[in-house]
Every structure is written in C-alpha cells, then in structure tokens.
Amino acid sequence: MSTSRANELLPVLEQEIVTGTLPPGTRLDETILAERFGVSRTPVREALNRLSATGLIEIRPRRGAIVAEISVQDLMNMFEVMAELEATCAKLAARRITPEEKKALLKAHQACDSLASGEEHDLYYERNTHMHNLIYQASHNAFLEKQTKDLRQRLSPHRRLQVRIPGRMISSSSEHDALVTAILNGNSTLAEKLTRDHVTIQGERFTDFLATLPAHYLRNSA
C-alpha cells in the first residue's frame, strides 16, 4: 500500500519540481506533504527517496529534503551520455536479440504506437519506457543495462515532459518504427544511429525542450 501511494505522489512532485512550482532550495517537509496528500509519512519518505535517486532533490543531514539546483548544461550532458548508452544497447540488441525477445519488442512497439495520436501522455510514456527496457535487456549485457536504466531514471521527469510537446508522440513512434525494424532485421549499425538520433536533443527538439523548462534552469546556465 505504501509503495502504491508513493507511486501516486511521485509524478505530482516530479512535475512540480521540473516546472518550477517547487524551485531549487525549497525544503520538502515530510509532515506537510503527508497532510497535503492525506497519507502517512511512510509513502512520502519513499517518494522523496526516489526523487533523491533521480537527482531532483538532495537529502541533507538535519535539513531534510531540498529541491536540487540543476542547469540546462547538466541536463544536456546527461542526455548526451544517455544517447550513447542507448545506442550501444540497440547495436548489441540487433546482434543478440532472441526470437522470443523479437516478438516481445514488436508487441511493445505496437502497444506504444496505438497511443501516438491520442492524449494519453502518461500511458504512452509508460509503454515507451517498457519498449526501451526490452531493447536494453536484448543487449544481453547486464552491466550496460543497469547503467542505462539508472541514467534513464535520473532523466525520467524530463523525458516524461517531452512526450507532452505537441506532435512529439507521433514523431517518437515513427522513430520507434524505424528503430525496431533495424533491430529485428539485425542491422546493428543502423539501429545504433537511429537510437542516437532518437535520444539526442538537437535542432528544433532542443528549442522545444527548452520551452518545457522553468526560468531557473536558464539562470543556472548563465
């Protein structure tokens, strides 16, 4: 029950932090949050621990949980590394994916694609995450899989916001289609390139990404 309630609190707090409703330096008091959400302090503490794992907050001795400072440059550095990790996963997956994993990946892509033209952003994000996880697993490199998942978890709040950019789910699903096809066909070079392009934020996507960020990110980059 505690984990279930923490799962409900987490996206709300993520959204408020990445949009600036809770700016850097804000202290997140467990008792106040518990009263606000009508829950005990246990799920609040669990949600805060998970936010700490993503780097959105810092848990400091005697001060508790504090919303962390972060800059656009910090985010871009993480996305740059994320693109390389995911590209390597896709390259290895194209070489090592099993017949059963191919079926699961195709099914996951189709489930994601069925939502691309709608407005169910959170559900699309969940299915998108599942599809990418299958690619990590198909790399058959446990160390790479763990490192990729860990960094993805840190970027999760920002990637969740990205799918809300108008037209992004449709373009994302189209990119998935080419990527999944490359993996299923065993084309490792193409799978690597398509994944890197899919994750990297550049050009118009960079401008759109900046538009999802509150002003303090830009100030921190100055």
Pairing of strands 57-60, 64-67: antiparallel
Q: Are 157 and 47 in contact (CB under 8 A)?
A: no
**Range scoring the smallest mean pLDDT among 90-94, 152-156, 190-194:** 152-156
Band of pLDDT at residue 126, cut at 50, 70 and 90 = very high
| Measured torsion, CA atoms of residues 161, 162, 165, 168, in degrees rounded to the nearest 10 | -140
72-211 falls under which CATH superfamily? Answer: GntR ligand-binding domain-like (1.20.120.530)
Does domain 2-67 sit in CATH 1.10.10.10? yes
Longest dimension (CA), the chain: 55
Write down the pLDDT at residue 55.
Answer: 82
Residue spans in the chain of domains classed CATH 1.20.120.530? 72-211
Band of pLDDT at residue 62, cut at 50, 70 and 90 = confident
Whole-structure pTM value: 0.78
Residue spans in the chain of domains classed CATH 1.10.10.10? 2-67
Q: What is the Cα–Cα distance from 194 to 175, expressed in whole angstroms?
A: 8
Q: What is the pLDDT of residues 75-88, one digit of tens each?
A: 888 889 999 999 99
* Bridge partners of residue 28, in order along the sequence: 65
CA 212 distance to own-chain centroid: 14
